[in-house]
Chains A and B, each alone.
Chain A
Amino acid sequence: MAASAKSGKWVGSPMPRVEDRRLLTGTGVFIDDMNPVPNIHHVAVVRSPHAHARILGIDFARALEVPGVLGVVTGADFKALMKPLGVGIENPPPYYSVAVDKARYMGEPVALVVARDRYTAEDAAELVAVDYEPLPAVVCPEQAAQPEAPILHESLGTNVVLRRVMKYGNAEKAFAEADLVVSDRFVFPKYGSTPMETFGVIAQWNQVTGEYTIWANFHGPFSMHPVMAAALGVPGNKLRVITPKDIGGGFGIKTSIFPSMVMVAVVARKLGVPVKWTEDRREHLLSSSSGTDRVSYCQLAFKQDGTLTGWRQRWYDNVGGYIRAPEPACSFRTHGNLIGPYKVQDVELDANVVCTNRSLTGPNRGYGNQELYFPVERLMDIAAEKLGLDPAEIRRRNLIEPHQMPYTTPTGGVYDAGDYPTTLQRALESFGYEELKRERESAQQQGRLFGIGIALAVDPSVSNMGYVTVAYPPEYRAQPSYKAKGAANETVQIQVDPLGKVNVLLPSCPQGQGHETVAAQIVADELGIHPREISVNSEMDTGTRFWSITAGSYSSRFASVTSSAICGAARVIRDKVVAIAARAMDASPDQIELAGGEVRVRNSDKKMKFHHVTGLAHWNQSALPDGMSPGLNATFTFAFERALPPNEQDQVQSSQTYGFLAEVVAVELDPQTMKLKFRKWVSAHDAGNLLNPMLAEGQVIGSIAHGIGGAMYEEMAYDENGQCLTGTLADYLIPTAMEIPDIQIEHVNTPSPWTMLGSKGAGEASTETAPIVIANAVADALRPAGVTVRELPVTPSRVWHWVQAARSGG
């Protein structure tokens, strides 16, 4: 494999992943492979079978009699050994890692049995007798918001843990003067990510030093580190968090492992031994984390020509039994891109965040965006039909134009760059839109259920950790005691060793995205060496690595911020190499170039091997320019200057770069079974410069597969008693390769002016549109049957019932 022939650069070339060799040969190192300290004991978790129940007593005497059992830890111990986990809202209901007095969702940890091995622990866990008083449950966020609903947290007196009403511009006027107002109620379902590797934690307490060490397949954000330290009651430097070299998939879900990290740490402290917990699949499906399900009431105002003039949403986000950080982020991660790709300025949001007796929620690929865009993109189609416009045309008329970039949204977002109209046009052309519309016409004439869907999205990357503070009202944030938050940065370290080989240290905790590959590409270009000369170390260790509050992998940040920090650190090294070489070869620094493993003086035959120059930094300080310190290492922090706290008008640059995408899909439904078949799928993206097009393609296909799961298969189903009915992969269906259609991917590359390589995130983009484009295509196919789509997933049985109801006039 060579660098791209066209540019001579590694960045931009489809370099195969350096991670694959170890992963494909089974030599990766995952959390369950790790036994970092001796005498590790194993924990089995006793979980609530009830969605809502008072815990009257726990009798674990019989469990203690099992040979090999070390002890049992319950809610009372947790109340004594930890403080509630912090969350960014006023008056949060207390949330401990283990149920203290009440269980509030099925699968909530109630007791932990520790034994010499997992087998013994599991057997003993069955002998723990918990006396429950079952209480009425509520699972729908809208119902839970009603005054007569069962209350989960009595101290609050309501299940609505947060409500924020925010107005921008003059939506009232826009709606009053509109030619057309469309509105409806929509339901976005609860689904997860199903990483192949479940959660895993090892924790140790050193009673001499008062220090916790936790190994976990956590992937950040490291803003959770202070949350964990505070919950455990230790200073930050007494909590060392280490991640394994390999993490088997995350997609956001593993952010939510942090309460389990605290859980296992408390057990280790209580029993005085290191403790390991590897979550099983059923635990993962019942109680790890999922995306946030949402009920939305959406209203859009239009002029006769299709101009979108007003935007209103009232939504109820269902965060489950407790609000767990970073929630209420589902409501606010999208704050800067609330209007999506459309020019509308008059906006009203009424965000309600509600506790119900379901499992807890958190980041899940696309987090907040699919929930945000689903109602809007459905209503764009409905408005187009009422105005007699083509769905592509009504969207085109409202798109933000390239000359308006950087574009400031009413909610405080500043879109960096992008050519939205060209990207949409590329998608339609590649799709053969006009031709497929003719195909639809003839199919419909034959009575077939054939539909075309379009969905657009602005895909935000690199979250500003301050966005979630928009959850606090401006009066609260104006108090002198309030500590404002706003940050989006990454710190990367590079060291060149005495033999001239390069070590890159990343704090990004990758979960399979190929960060090691891309880091090697970037550094290779900057230092003019081959990527195989570069080792990338991506195990995180808060005790030995420099890191920032926003470190980690989430919000598609690698291609924007981590890549920029890698590039910046490599340039620090390069500048030093140039200075040393200039002195050694008696040339001016601006004549020096790094290429082909050599450091050369331009327009001359003077050159040195790269490792000879770097060797001088280590071996011979007399060869260094005056004042230069020996050694060759760099620490570089890349930060986005607009990552500021929200202002008094509730405006915030919630993300730092924004991609755009257009998804166009044709489907056909079997008229008997309503089974969906894809006819064509085109996905067009403007994610700036691509660092590695092969990885970008993998991300697009993967995110579409995830979106297809959410639209057609995956749903964490609960009955009215709050019983989770999807506790196995036979009940919680995930799409496999067989269910994913051929996907045609198009790229328009408008470089981001704000990142060092012009790149930006792309790995979540299609998860945000795939569920919606399927909904739109199915709605289009069912239009002749008098059916519209207001909720997902569109399973055959559900669609069949809609069609039957429409036929019987219901």
Chain B
Amino acid sequence: MPGGRAEMWNLLLDPAVLEKCIPGCEKLESTGPDQYRADLAVGVAAIKGKYSGLMTITNKRPPEAFQLQVSGQGAPGWVKAVMNFELAAQGQETVLHYQIDAQVGGLIASVGQRMLGGVAKMLLGEMFKGLRAQAEALER
């Protein structure tokens, strides 16, 4: 990411930025400190659907690490994910490490499991592309 850790930290935890960058995010509203309600529209191959979910930010160690816990439910099934992010300084830039443990159930699990790996990578790719674009806009 083009920018220092503190700057990136603020960017990553800014709900307005997240709303823009999380693929399929239609709405992200704060329900308390570090707690959000999200409406998402995501498709896995032919299985398109809307999910409503909760997002909680925990284990904050600014500016180096935080954890996102996400759970969502919708007609195509449910998703539960724990995402650990680490920000490492590298010169003027920040390297973002992430580790995600996601569980899915319902239609997406029984119909989409062959595609899930690829779709997950694609969605993450989109998200980080969006975040980088936001960061670059900030740097300009």
Binding site for B on A (CB under 8 A): 49-51, 106-107, 126, 132, 282, 285-286, 719, 721, 723-728, 730-731
Decide if A723 touches B111 in the complex (CB within 8 Å).
no
A726 to B107, CA, bound (A): 10
* Min distance, Cβ A678 to any Cβ of chain B, angstroms: 27
Measured in the bound complex, the distance between the Cα atoms of B83 and A195 in whole Å is 42
B121-139 CB contacts (< 8 Å) to partner A: none
Q: Residue A49 contacts which of B107, B113, B114 (CB distance < 8 angstroms)?
A: B107
Q: Of the 9-residue stretches B1-9, B19-27, B54-62, B98-106, which lies at the interface with chain A?
A: B98-106
**Is there an interface contact between B105 and A727, defined as CB atoms closer than 8 Å?**
no
* A721–B110 CB distance below 8 A: no
Distance in angstroms between the alpha carbons of A728 and B47 in the assembled complex? 13
Give 1 or 0 for each of B40-74: 1 = CB within 8 Å of chain A CB: 00000000000000000000000000000000010
Q: Are A106 and B113 in contact (CB under 8 A)?
A: no
Minimum CB–CB distance from A53 to chain B (whole Å) comes to 10
Task: Say yes or no: A126 contacts B75, CB within 8 Å.
Answer: yes
Closest 6 CB pairs of A and B: A727-B110, A49-B106, A723-B109, A126-B75, A727-B111, A49-B77
Alpha-carbon gap, A85 to B68, bound state (A): 45
Q: Is the CB of A724 within 8 A of B75?
A: no
- Residues of chain B at the chain A interface (Cβ within 8 Å): 73, 75, 77-78, 103-107, 109-111, 113-114
CB–CB A286/B105 < 8 A:
no
Across the interface, which residues of B come within 8 angstroms of A730, CB to CB? 114
Smallest beta-carbon distance A294→chain B, Å = 23
Q: Which of B103, B104, B107, B110 has the most CB of A within 10 A?
A: B110
Report yes or no: A282 in contact with B111, Cβ–Cβ below 8 A: yes
A107 CA to B109 CA, complexed, in Å: 12
A808–chain B nearest beta-carbon distance, Å: 26
Are A728 and B111 neighbours in the complex by a CB distance under 8 Å? yes
- In the docked arrangement, what's the CA distance between A286 and B106, Å? 10
Whether A106 pairs with B105 at a CB distance below 8 angstroms is yes
List, in ascending order, chain A residues with CB within 8 A of B107's CB.
49, 282, 727
22 contacts between A and B (CB under 8 A): A49-B78, A49-B105, A50-B106, A106-B106, A106-B109, A106-B110, A126-B75, A282-B107, A282-B110, A282-B111, A285-B110, A286-B110, A719-B109, A721-B105, A723-B104, A723-B105, A723-B106, A723-B109, A725-B113, A727-B110, A731-B110, A731-B113
CA distance A285 to B109 in the complex (A): 13
Complex Cα distance, B104 from A177, in Å, reads: 54
Q: Residue on B with the closest CB to A49?
A: B106
A731 and B105 within 8 A (CB): no
Residues of B contacting A728 in the complex (Cβ-Cβ under 8 angstroms): 110-111
| Interchain CB contact (< 8 A) of A726 among B75, B103, B110 | B110
For residue B111, which residue of chain A has the nearest CB? A727
A590 to B107, CA, bound (A): 70
Cα A721 to Cα B77 in complex, Å, equals: 14
CB atoms of B114 and A723 under 8 A apart: no
Q: Are A721 and B75 in contact (CB under 8 A)?
A: no
Is the Cβ of A721 less than 8 Å from the Cβ of B103? yes
Please name 14 further chain A to chain B contacts, defined as beta carbons within 8 Å, in addition to the given A50-B105, A282-B110, A723-B106, sorted by A numbering.
Answer: A49-B73, A49-B106, A106-B106, A132-B73, A282-B107, A282-B111, A286-B110, A719-B109, A723-B110, A725-B113, A726-B110, A727-B109, A731-B111, A731-B113
How far in angstroms is the closest Cβ of chain B from A605? 73
* Whole-angstrom CA separation of A649 from B107 in the bound complex: 49
B49's nearest neighbour on chain A, judged by CB, is A126
CB-nearest residue of chain A to B109: A723
Residues of B within 8 A of A282 (CB): 107, 110-111
Could you tell me if B75 and A725 are in contact, using CB atoms closer than 8 angstroms? no
Q: In the assembled complex, which residues on chain A have CB atoms less than 8 Å from the CB atom of B77?
A: 49
- Across-interface contacts of B105 in A (CB, < 8 A): 49-51, 106, 721, 723
User: Given the complex of chains A and B, what is the CA–CA distance between A51 and B73 in angstroms?
Assistant: 15
Closest-CB distance, A333 to chain B (whole angstroms)? 29
- In whole angstroms, how far apart are the Cα atoms of A721 and B114 in the complex? 17
In the docked arrangement, what's the CA distance between A722 and B17, Å? 36
Q: In the complex, what residue of chain B is closest to A46 when comparing beta carbons?
A: B75
Bound-complex Cα distance A51 to B105 (A): 9
Contacts of A727 in B (CB 8 A): 107, 109-111
Q: How far is the CA of A106 from the CA of B108 in the complex (A)?
A: 12
Q: What is the bound-complex CA distance between A142 and B130, given in angstroms?
A: 48
Cα distance, A425 to B114, chains bound together (Å): 46
Contact partners of A721 in chain B: CB under 8 A: 103, 105
A35 CB to closest chain B CB, in angstroms?
29
The residue among A721, A727, A730 with the most chain B CB atoms within 10 A of its own CB is A727
Once bound together, how far apart are the Cα atoms of A726 and B113, in whole Å? 8
CA distance A726 to B78 in the complex (A): 17
Considering the complex, give the chain A residue whose CB is closest to the CB of B106. A49
Query: Is there contact, CB below 8 Å, between B78 and A725?
Result: no
Chain A residues with Cβ under 8 A from B110's Cβ?
A: 106-107, 282, 285-286, 723-728, 731
CB-nearest residue of chain A to B104 = A723
The answer to whether A724 and B114 touch across the interface, beta carbons within 8 angstroms, is no
Chain B residues contacting A285 (CB-CB under 8 Å) are 110
Residues of B close to A49: CB separation below 8 A: 73, 77-78, 105-107
Q: Which residues of B contact A51 (CB under 8 A)?
A: 105
Distance between B81 CB and nearest chain A CB, rounded to angstroms: 14
Residue among B78, B111, B113, B114 making CB contact with A50, cutoff 8 Å: B78
Q: Contacts of B75 on A, CB cut-off 8 Å?
A: 126
Q: Which residues of chain A come closer than 8 Å to B106, judged between CB atoms? A: 49-50, 106, 723
Least CB distance from A132 to B in Å reads: 8
C-alpha spacing A730/B73, complex, angstroms: 25
How far does the Cβ of B80 sit from chain A's closest Cβ, in whole Å?
9
In the complex, the chain A residue whose C-beta lies closest to that of B50 is A126
Set of chain A residues within 8 Å of B103, measured between Cβ atoms = 721
With a cutoff of 8 Å between Cβ atoms, the chain A residues found around residue B73 in the complex are: 49, 132
CB contact under 8 A between A731 and B114, given known A719-B109, A723-B105: yes
CA gap between A724 and B109 in the complex, in Å: 7
A695 to B113, CA, bound (A): 39
In the complex, what's the smallest C-beta–C-beta distance from B101 to chain A, in angstroms?
12
Residue of chain B at shortest CB distance from A126: B75
Q: State the CA gap A669–B113 with chains docked (Å).
A: 28
Question: Chain A nearest CB: distance from B120 CB in Å?
Answer: 15
Q: How far is the CA of A731 from the CA of B112 in the complex (A)?
A: 9
A723→B102 CA distance, assembly (Å): 13
**For the complex, what is the distance from the CA of A724 to the CA of B114, rounded to whole Å?**
13
Residues of B within 8 A of A286 (CB): 110
Q: Give the residues in chain B near A107, CB-CB below 8 Å.
A: 110
How far apart sit A132 and B105, CA to CA, in the bound complex (Å)? 13
CB distance from B104 to the nearest CB of A (A): 7
Query: Which A residues touch B113, using CB under 8 A?
Result: 725, 731
Whole-angstrom distance between the Cβ of A285 and the nearest chain B Cβ: 8
Bound-state Cα–Cα, A286 to B109, Å: 11
Alpha-carbon gap, A597 to B75, bound state (A): 65
Complex CA–CA separation, A724 to B111 (angstroms): 9
Max count, chain A CB within 10 A of own CB: residue among B73, B105, B113, B114 = B105
Output the nearest chain A residue to B103 by Cβ-Cβ distance: A721
Complex alpha-carbon distance, A728 and B105, angstroms: 15
Give the residues in chain B near A50, CB-CB below 8 Å.
Answer: 78, 105-106
Q: Give the docked Cα–Cα distance between A107 and B111 (Å).
A: 13
Distance between B105 CB and nearest chain A CB, rounded to angstroms? 5
A126 to B51, CA, bound (A): 12
Q: How far is the CB of B9 from chain A (nearest CB, A)?
A: 33
Tell me, in angstroms, the Cα distance from A320 to B67 when the chains sit together. 36
In the complex, what distance in Å separates the CA atom of A727 from the CA atom of B77? Answer: 13
CB distance from A564 to the nearest CB of B (A): 44
> Roughly how many angstroms separate A721 CA and B101 CA in the complex, as a whole number?
14
Give bound CA distance, A132 to B111, whole Å.
21
Inter-chain CA distance A50–B109, complex, in Å, is 11
Question: Once bound together, how far apart are the Cα atoms of A727 and B114, in whole Å?
Answer: 11
Whole-angstrom CA separation of A126 from B110 in the bound complex: 17
- B40 CB, min distance to chain A CBs, angstroms: 16
B111 CB → nearest A CB, Å? 5
For the complex, what is the distance from the CA of A50 to the CA of B113, rounded to whole Å?
A: 16
List, in ascending order, chain B residues with CB within 8 A of A731's CB.
110-111, 113-114
Residue of A106, A723, A726 with most chain B CB atoms under a 10 A cut-off: A723
